[in-house]
C-alpha cells in the first residue's frame, strides 16, 4: 500500500515566483495536514483538512499561502509570491478517522523548497 | 510561543547505553503525547505514544514516561543502537486531532 506521496521532492525558484506543492494522502484517510520544518521552529502546522474541509489554517500566512483539497485524494499548497524566508521542507501527512483518537499521522517524504 | 519544547538540540550516546530524550509542554489541556523519529530525506515516522491517563508506556526498547504535574515527558531507548541515530520529535495534542511538535533532538549513537 502506497504511503503519502508528495511532489516535487525538490523545488528551486526565484523570489516572486509562484510555487505549488502537491500531496496525495493514503487512500481512505480523512485528515490531511501540511507542515513546514525549519531549524528554529521544528515542525509547524500550516493547515489541516477533515473530509476536504479546512479545519484550521491559523498557522498559514494567508497573504501569500493558500491550500486546497479539491477531492479526497489530492491537495495543493500554493505560495504566491514566494520569498526567501519560505525556504524550508514542507511535509504532508494524513490520518484516518478512527486513528484520530490516537492522533497517529503518516508523513510523506517532504518537498525541499529553496527560494533564491 | 512554543507550547512544546525540546531543550536539547542534540544528544550523543554510546551503543548499548541508555538514551534519554526530554520534552516539556506548557498547555495543561494536552491529553495525548507522541514521539516521532525522522531520518534524513524522509518524513517523520510514528514511534510511540502515551495518553495522559497513564504515566508510562513501553514498546520493546522504547519507553515513554509522562509526568503531568511537571508537564514533562521523556523517551528512553535501551539499549541504544547505531540505527537509532535520527532526529526525534515530541508532539502533543488536545483532543482536536492537531499535533503541536517540538523543535526536535538529534540523537547520535556511536558504535
Shortest Cα–Cα distance, B42 to chain A (Å): 5
Pick from B42, B45, B101: CB nearest A42: B101
Q: How many CB pairs under 8 A join A and B?
A: 61
pLDDT computed for residue A38 by the predictor: 82
| pLDDT range class, residue A10, cuts 50, 70, 90 | very high
Which of A5, A43, A55 is best to mutate for the B interface (most B CBs within 10 A)?
A43
* Model pLDDT, residue A98: 61
The pLDDT of residue A102 = 57
Decide: B107 and B96 in contact? Cβ < 8 Å.
no
Under an 8 A CB cutoff, do A56 and B89 touch?
A: no
Tell me the pLDDT band of A1, cut-offs 50, 70 and 90.
low
Q: Which residue has the higher pLDDT, B48 or A97?
A: B48
Q: Please give the DSSP secondary-structure letter assigned to residue B98.
A: -
Measure in Å the smallest separation between the Cα of B108 and chain A Cα atoms: 18
Banded model confidence at residue A39, pLDDT cuts 50, 70, 90 = confident
In degrees and rounded to multiples of 5, residue B84 shows phi and psi of -80, -10
Give pLDDT, residue A5. 97
Picking from B25, B99, B100 by the largest number of A CB atoms within 10 A of its own CB, the best residue to mutate is B99
List residues in chain B touching A: CB distance below 8 A.
2, 6, 32, 34, 36, 41-46, 49, 89, 91, 93, 96-104
What residues of chain A lie within 8 A of the CB of B41, using their CB? Answer: 109-110
Highest mean pLDDT: which of A18-22, A97-101, A104-108? Answer: A18-22
- In the predicted model, what is the mean pLDDT of residues A74-87? 96
The beta-carbon neighbor of B43 closest among A42, A95, A110 is: A110
Tell me whether residues B32 and A103 touch, CB distance under 8 A: yes
pLDDT at A99: 54
Q: DSSP states of B66-85 as a string? A: EETTTTEEEEEESS--GGG-
Chunked in runs of 10, what are the mean pLDDT values of chain B (111 residues)?
A: 89 98 95 94 94 94 97 97 97 83 95 93
Q: Which uninterrupted H or E stretch holds B12? A: strand B10-14
What's the rounded Cα separation, in Å, for the pair A89 and A58?
Answer: 19
pLDDT of residue B92: 93
Band of pLDDT at residue A2, cut at 50, 70 and 90:
confident
At A103 the pLDDT is 74
Round the average pLDDT of chain A to a whole number and report it.
91
Question: What pLDDT, on a 0 to 100 scale, did the predictor assign at position A33?
Answer: 95
Residue A53, C-alpha cell as written in the block: 474541509
pLDDT at A101 over 80: no
Distance from CA of B15 to the nearest CA of A (A): 27
- Percentage of residues in chain A having pLDDT higher than 90: 79
Query: What single-letter DSSP state applies at residue A97?
Result: G
Q: What is the DSSP string of B16-66?
A: TS-EEEEEEE--TT--EEEEEEE-TTS--EEEEEEETT-SEEEETTEEEEE
Mean pLDDT of all residues in A105-115: 95
Do residue B49 and residue A106 have CB atoms under 8 angstroms apart? no
pLDDT of amino acid B68: 95
Q: By three-state DSSP, how is residue A98 classified?
A: helix
Amino acid at each position: 500500500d502506497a504511503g503519502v506521496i508528495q511532489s516535487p521532492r525538490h523545488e528551486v525558484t526565484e523570489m516572486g515566483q509562484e510555487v505549488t506543492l502537491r500531496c496525495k494522502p493514503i487512500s481512505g484517510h480523512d485528515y490531511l495536514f501540511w507542515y513546514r520544518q525549519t531549524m528554529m521552529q521544528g515542525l509547524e502546522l500550516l493547515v489541516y483538512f477533515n473530509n476536504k474541509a479546512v479545519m484550521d489554517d491559523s498557522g498559514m500566512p494567508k497573504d501569500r499561502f493558500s491550500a486546497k483539497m479539491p477531492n479526497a485524494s489530492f491537495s495543493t499548497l500554493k505560495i504566491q509570491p514566494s520569498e526567501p524566508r519560505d525556504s524550508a521542507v514542507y511535509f504532508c501527512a494524513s490520518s484516518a478517522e478512527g486513528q484520530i483518537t490516537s492522533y497517529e499521522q503518516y508523513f510523506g517524504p517532504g518537498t525541499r523548497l529553496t527560494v533564491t | 510561543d512554543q507550547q512544546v519544547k525540546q531543550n536539547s538540540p542534540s544528544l550523543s550516546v554510546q551503543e548499548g547505553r541508555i538514551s534519554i530524550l526530554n520534552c516539556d509542554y506548557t498547555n495543561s489541556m494536552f491529553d495525548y503525547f507522541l514521539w516521532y523519529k525522522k531520518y534524513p530525506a524522509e518524513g517523520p515516522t510514528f514511534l510511540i505514544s502515551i495518553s495522559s491517563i497513564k504515566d508510562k508506556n513501553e514498546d520493546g526498547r522504547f519507553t515513554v514516561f509522562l509526568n503531568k504535574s511537571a508537564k514533562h515527558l521523556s523517551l528512553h531507548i535501551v539499549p541504544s543502537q547505531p540505527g537509532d541515530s535520527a532526529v526525534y520529535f515530541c508532539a502533543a495534542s488536545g483532543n482536536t486531532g492537531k499535533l503541536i511538535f517540538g523543535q526536535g533532538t538529534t540523537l547520535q549513537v556511536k558504535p
